[in-house]
Amino acid sequence: MTHLAANGGPPIRLQQWPAWPAPAPSALNALNEVLHSGRWAISGPYQGKQSFERRFAEAFAAYHEIAHCVPTASGTASLMVALEACGVGAGDEVIIPGLTWVANASTVAGVNAVPVPVDVDPLTLCLDPAAVERAITPRTAAIVVVHLYSAVADLDALTAIAKRHDVALIEDCAQAHGARFRGRRVGTFGAFGTFSMQHSKVLTSGEGGAVITGDGVLSRRAEHLRADGRTYTAHEPAVGEMELDQTAELMGSNRCLSEFQAAVLLGQLELLDEQNERRRANAALLDDGLGALGIRPQVSSPGTTERTYYEWAGRIEDDEIGQLGVGPIASAVAAELSGAGIYTSYPPMNHNRLYRPASRSRFKAIAGLDLTGYSLPVAEDAGRRVVTVHHSALLGDESDAKDIVRAFEKVFTHHRELRG
């Protein structure tokens, strides 16, 4: 008899999940204002009003209680800007987590540096400080720490390591908008905090990004790097004139956020805290319900005062179920839930099929880019055992969280059906 929806049985749920992205009530009016403003990008002529890009930069900096924010075209652009603003370049090594999205490695290669993946903590799935310490060499120029899924990395230990070895610490907060460590927003502990506003993120404009910093010199370098070597003029220009000054201080590239994206983000930012609170409440229900089924929830580092749930993550502890591999389990649970966002963890960086620098001629002159020789046992285990639930499924109510638990319980009960 077939029980699982993946095999043609009746699903746990037919009801659809909360839509994501979900536009703020102000989005249409803001987009219409940009549409008729005569300025669709900061590289367009000044029209007598503060740009949406500047408005968002000020709002995002204020949200983090930090002095500077430079919006960018994507999370990848934000990482590249941060690395180059910190002086990272040819011949340098950059320590990255062994468990993260591929852009953390490809971006380092993109600034002609060498990514050095190190293993992660088995409980937080974020950078293991002891592994970072062992990986430091005279060529290390930066450490990129990712606050992964719903955890904040051990910023006490990592900031101390960076200071002791005089290397830049860059926080990748693409999955942690709004999280706090010791009362401060993440992104404010390193030289830079970098953010992605890609479609799936908890703060999104489809694509987009930002860097934040408390250092005025680094901020000015970041402005030049994202706008072809230009920065905002010191004084308000006349209508029709350019608001970007060609200082020639530093050559850059065009990595600017459009006015449409900035307008959307302003409205979305107003909703962020309330949405994060709702996600936390439902994540707590998953901690209890899925924990009782033998899925060990990801934890955050001591010192975390507020978590952000980009994805709820947990490790399947049962060996018999775990031997199936997390892929079939995630697919079977998603089939029970009308296609809810149930996913596997990222693959370990030493086996990530998207990281293929040899496939592009620009990287052939850089030695050390092959990552397959690194040992990352904790990251490899996570790739086999960790399952995640996308934050959109946490925006509902208690009954939605219970449906997720019921779906996992059903799949675990009938997991032998997945063996074919």
- Domains of the chain, by residue range, sit at 27-268, 272-419
The torsion angles phi and psi of 123, rounded to 5 degrees, stand at -95, -45
pLDDT for position 2? 74
The torsion angles phi and psi of 70, rounded to 5 degrees, stand at -120, 105
- Please give the helix or strand (H or E) that residue 145 lies within, else none: strand 140-146
pLDDT for position 1? 59
How high is the mean pLDDT of the chain?
A: 97
- CA distances to 179, 241, 269 from 276, in Å: 9, 41, 11
pLDDT for position 339? 85
Q: What is the mean pLDDT of residues 180-194?
A: 98
C-alpha–C-alpha distance, residues 376 and 335, integer Å: 31
Q: What is the mean pLDDT of residues 183-199?
A: 98
pLDDT for position 333? 97
pLDDT for position 420? 64
C-alpha–C-alpha distance, residues 167 and 175, integer Å: 23
What is the reported pTM?
0.96
Dihedral angle computed from the Cα positions of residues 187, 188, 190 and 191, in that order, rounded to the nearest 10 degrees: 100
Domain 27-268 has CATH 3.40.640.10: yes
Orientation of helix 52-63 relative to helix 259-292, angle to 10°: 30
CB neighbour class for 144 (10 Å; exposed up to 12, middle 13-18, buried from 19): buried
C-alpha–C-alpha distance, residues 8 and 3, integer Å: 8
> Which residues lie below 8 Å from residue 417, measured CB to CB, with a gap of 6+?
2, 3, 4, 6, 7
Q: What is the mean pLDDT of residues 330-343?
A: 95
What CATH number has the domain spanning 272-419?
A: 3.90.1150.10
Higher pLDDT, 347 or 365: 347
**Which pLDDT band holds residue 419 (cuts at 50, 70, 90)?**
confident
Is residue 361 helix, strand or coil?
helix
Report yes or no: 180 and 35 within 8 Å, Cβ to Cβ. Answer: no
The torsion angles phi and psi of 174, rounded to 5 degrees, stand at -60, -25
